[in-house]
Amino acid sequence: MTSMNKSNLKKFKKMLQDRLSELLNEVDQTTKDISGTERETFADPTDQAVVELDRTRYLRFKDRERKLIRKIEKALSRIEEGTYGECEACGSDIELARLEARPMTELCIDCATEAEGEKKKSKLYGTEAGPSPAANLL
């Protein structure tokens, strides 16, 4: 169980909901901007290129935002389940300061650091990270 108290949960829920509606608004606005531009016709091919560039930027933005939105939705459902604030990897409490900075985080600082290190290692050696020592104990 998480040691997160009710008032903290309420605070994080609000933070997450605010961030979510902010993101949804942004996505909505960008969609409107792009489709608005697309409806116009361009005689100048340079203008057309600018539109293409905007589209690429928009798609990249959308991909990133979509992932973030999914994370926030997941965090919100974890609040409902009562598991919010627990590290997904080791089950210990995530530091409050860390949650305040990144309310949608799923890992405690140790696990996040380890995950980063594994990523770097596998990149360095060009291989996937092997089984963790804990897996060998099972």
| Footprint of Zn ion (CB under 5 A) | 87, 89-90, 108, 111
Judged by beta carbon, residue 2 or residue 30, the one nearer Zn ion is: 2
| Minimum distance, C-beta of residue 91 to Zn ion, in the bound complex (Å) | 7
The residue type found at 116 is E
> Are 77 and 109 spatial neighbours (Cβ–Cβ below 8 Å)?
no
Judged by beta carbon, residue 16 or residue 87, the one nearer Zn ion is: 87
| Minimum distance, C-beta of residue 110 to Zn ion, in the bound complex (Å) | 5
Dihedral pair phi/psi, residue 14, rounded to 5°: -65, -45
Judged by beta carbon, residue 9 or residue 90, the one nearer Zn ion is: 90
Tokens for 118, please give them.
């594994």
Cα separation, 38 vs 20, in Å, equals: 27
| Minimum distance, C-beta of residue 85 to Zn ion, in the bound complex (Å) | 11
